[in-house]
């Protein structure tokens, strides 16, 4: 199998390719990060080097096998070299700002009951190249993207090495130069990895999928809550904030008659007490075969009124990408047409 260069830093390209002149590595890096996916189209390289590149390397190791568009969002289905299928999503807001929602694993091992990705099980971790490929393909399809959320398929902090590497490549000033402040990692609550992020000063933003601030309820829908209970999770967020001092996003999927009651708001209020957070409310998106329901408009409104009354800061995430099954929790490796 040829080695893919898209997830490599210039110095890694240098040692992998070993070109006649060291500065060639930077030229190759720059070309790849400007979304050139064919060595032939890199105009400033000598023929001999191009032949070496063709014979031994590829730029992206994966292939786009389906493109769906819906107004200002879109979804790509990507087939990996081993035939695993992943998806990534492009979201645009009203100001035209584009955000890439990238996958970090083929499937997910965390098994959250309300999530289509979790329902399909885990296949494997993605490499940094396979994460970057998604971004390159999204930009080729939809134009320049300013923000990244690692919120697609998989648990990013369960594949931390490739995740951080991909972020570093996307941040590199010789390439896309996307600032870490415009990247967000979403986790189901791996407390040990949150503390690790704090310890190493990982500059990306943090989002935590809470979904319920009651231990019993959370365990019911998120098996990971047994390993890292709410106490431990809360402790890790305090630790994170003591070191990083950054507002954390708390994701809260609203599920009909499950986590929408007055008492649920009280649990939430207690959980976030003393933390600097914004709660991101996501009405549950339907996914085939999952036994949950979206709350009615009235149930959602009632919940939002309770948040207001408790002075809990929140935003409601609108159901972007629903038509193309590109909304949160709807990504899966199933083929679609
Ligand atoms: N594994 C990470 C990131 C991917 S999941 C995590 O759990 O945070 C991204 C977000 O989608 C999470 O906040 C999750 O709670 C939410 N989600 C999963 N299934 C959903 C569904 N069916 N409807 C709405 N949101 C969902
Ligand atoms: Fe995995 Fe996140 Fe889905 Fe849970 S919500 S199964 S952690 S992708």
pLDDT category at 324 given cuts 50, 70, 90 is: low
Per-residue model confidence as pLDDT tens digits over 143-186: 999 999 999 999 999 999 999 999 999 999 999 999 999 999 99
Answer yes or no: is the C-beta of 87 below 6 A from any ligand 2 atom: no
pLDDT at res. 95: 86
Residue 334 — very low, low, confident or very high, per pLDDT cuts 50/70/90?
Answer: low
| Ligand 1: residue whose CA is nearest its atom 3 | 151
Those residues with Cβ within 8 angstroms of residue 151's Cβ, 6 or more apart along the chain or in another chain: 101, 102, 184, 186, 207, 328
Is residue 335 scored above 70 in pLDDT?
no
How many whole angstroms separate alpha carbon 26 and alpha carbon 29?
5
The predicted structure's pLDDT at residue 96: 86
Parallel/antiparallel/unpaired status of strands 98-101 and 85-92: antiparallel
Known catalytic residues? 87, 328
The pairs formed by 293-298 with CB atoms below 8 angstroms and a separation of 24 or more are 293/255, 293/256, 293/257, 294/254, 294/255, 294/256, 295/254, 295/255, 295/256, 295/257, 295/260, 296/256
Whether the pLDDT of residue 325 is over 90: the answer is no
C-alpha 284 – ligand 1 centre gap (Å): 9
337 pLDDT band, cuts 50/70/90, is: very low
- Show the ligand 1 pocket: residues with CB < 6 angstroms: 114-115, 151, 155, 186-188, 209, 211, 251, 253, 282, 284-285, 287, 328-329
Q: Tell me the CA–centroid distance for residue 22 and ligand 1, in Å.
A: 43
Distance 334 CA to ligand 1 centre (A): 17
Tens digits of per-residue pLDDT, 203-262?
999 999 999 999 999 999 999 999 999 999 999 999 999 998 789 999 999 999 999 999
Q: Note the pLDDT tens digit of each residue in 4-50.
A: 999 999 999 999 999 999 999 999 999 999 999 999 999 999 999 99
β strands within 81-154, DSSP E: 85-92, 98-101, 105-107, 122-125, 147-150
- 57-88 pLDDT per residue, tens: 999 999 999 999 987 789 999 999 999 999 99
């Amino acid at each position: 199998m040829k080695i893919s260069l898209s997830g490599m830093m210039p110095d890694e390209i240098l040692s992998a390719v070993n070109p006649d002149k060291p500065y060639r590595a930077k030229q190759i890096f720059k070309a790849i990060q400007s979304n050139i996916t064919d060595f032939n189209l890199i105009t400033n390289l000598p023929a001999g080097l191009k032949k070496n590149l063709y014979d031994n390397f590829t730029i992206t190791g994966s292939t786009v096998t389906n493109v769906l568009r819906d107004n200002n969002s879109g979804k790509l289905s990507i087939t990996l070299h081993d035939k695993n299928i992943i998806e990534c999503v492009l979201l645009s807001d009203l100001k035209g700002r584009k955000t890439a929602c990238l996958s970090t694993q083929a499937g997910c091992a965390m098994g959250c009951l309300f999530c289509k990705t979790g329902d399909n099980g885990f296949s494997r971790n993605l490499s940094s190249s396979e994460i970057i490929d998604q971004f390159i393909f999204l930009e080729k399809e939809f134009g320049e993207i300013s923000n990244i959320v690692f919120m697609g398929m998989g648990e990013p902090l369960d594949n931390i090495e490739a995740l951080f590497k991909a972020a570093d490549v996307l941040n590199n000033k010789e390439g896309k130069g996307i600032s870490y402040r415009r990247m967000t990692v979403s986790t189901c609550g791996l407390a040990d990895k949150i503390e690790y992020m704090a310890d190493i000063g990982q500059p990306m933003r943090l989002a935590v999928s809470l979904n319920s601030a009651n231990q019993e309820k959370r365990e019911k829908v998120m098996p990971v809550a047994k390993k890292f209970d709410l106490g431990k999770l809360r402790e890790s967020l305090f630790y994170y904030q003591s070191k990083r001092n950054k507002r954390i996003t708390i994701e809260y999927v609203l599920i009909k008659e499950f986590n929408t009651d007055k008492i649920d708001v009280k649990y939430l209020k207690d959980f976030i007490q003393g933390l600097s957070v914004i709660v991101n409310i996501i009405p549950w998106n339907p996914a085939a075969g999952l036994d949950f329901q979206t709350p009615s408009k009235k149930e959602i409104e009632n919940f939002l009124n309770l948040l207001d009354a408790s002075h809990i800061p929140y935003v409601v995430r609108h159901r972007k990408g629903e038509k193309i099954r590109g909304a949160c929790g709807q990504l899966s490796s199933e083929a679609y047409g």
